[in-house]
Structures are given as C-alpha cells and as structure tokens.
Amino acid sequence: MNLDEWELLLDNIKTTDGPCIELDARVCAGFRYAGDCYSSWMTKFADDNFVPGDHRLVGRVLIIGENGEHIAHYGAQAVTKSLDEARALFRSIFPGWWMNTGECHLSDDVRIAPDFSDPEHGERLAREFPLPEVKYRDEHGDFTYGPFNDGFDIDRRPAGNLPIAIIQAMIEAKLYILKQAAH
C-alpha cells in the first residue's frame, strides 16, 4: 500500500462505529497479515520484501484485484472485533514493541512504541528507530523525544472498540515510519 492508501485506511478506521469485516480484510491485506493458512497466489500482489511462507501471511485468504482493490475474503481474522486478534496482529507486525491499553466509560486508550529494552529485539529497534540526543518541542509545545520513545497514543471515543483503537495506533505508527523513510 502507498501512503495515500494508508491515510485512507486510517480515516476509515477513525470513522468506523464498530467492527467491520471489510476493514478487517483491508487492515490484514495492508499489513500482509493472516492467521493460519497460506495462499501462494497472494505473492503476485505482495511487495518486494515478501518471502513465500512469511508467517504474517499464514492464515488469511484474500482475493485482491488487478489494481490492489479488495474483492473478497474468506476466513478473515476479526481484528476490528476481537481483542485477541488485534493483539496477535500487533505482536506479529511490531515484534519487540510495547503496548498499553485501557478502557473506561468515555474512551478506549492505546499507546504503542518500540521497547528498546526488549532482550530479543532491543538492539535492532534502537538501530531502526534512533532517538534524538535531546528533547524537542512537539506540535503542542510539549518536550518530547518523539513517538518512538513516548509512543503513538490513541484516545478513541466513544468507548467500546478497543481492538479498533489498537489497529488505529498501528496504522499511525506505520504511516509515521513510511513518512520518515520517504525523507
């Protein structure tokens, strides 16, 4: 997916009022994520980083059209409905990152960021997402080391859709990473 497609998906996630099978399919296709079966014909639509047998494709069967549009899905992982599925997607796509979640009667709250102290992934994450030497002021005037230290923070209202808040945080992180790579 390109930046515009990720932005559109983020807008759709922000405005959905609840779980959606179509969004499940689009999210999983965008992250090249599946659950427990592999479809070799998806390689035709995968990016150059795709490796046949990639665990992120295990489990999802999608039919993608010539222009990358979603045509059909079978056995789609319910990432916008199931907290377990949303967490599994997060762990698969962002290995070594931390996630905090919270719920109250007003909102669903999620924060994600690389876990630089993770024993397995910490060194890699520090290379991929170096922190600035000093704090700087963000767009709100607050001092920060940036989202890779402070986290991608979601406050989704109204409450009741924590899996969607997790997906929103993931997409915001993905967009930030893509935009950083484009510079």
What's residue 171's pLDDT?
A: 97
The per-residue pLDDT for 140 is: 73
Residue that has been written with the tokens 């001092």 in this structure: 143
Please report the pLDDT score of residue 51 as a whole number.
Answer: 42
Residue 176 has pLDDT above 70, yes or no: yes
Q: Which residues contact 122 (CB under 8 A, 6 or more apart)?
A: 96, 115, 116
Distance between CA 76 and CA 181 in Å, rounded?
Answer: 30
pLDDT at position 22 = 85
CB atoms within 10 A of CB 125: 21
Task: Please confirm whether the linkage preceding 114 is cis (ω < 30° from 0).
Answer: no
pLDDT at 55 > cutoff 50: no
Q: Decide which of 144 and 139 is more confident.
A: 139
pLDDT class for 136, splitting at 50, 70, 90? low
Pairing of strands 70-74, 136-137: unpaired
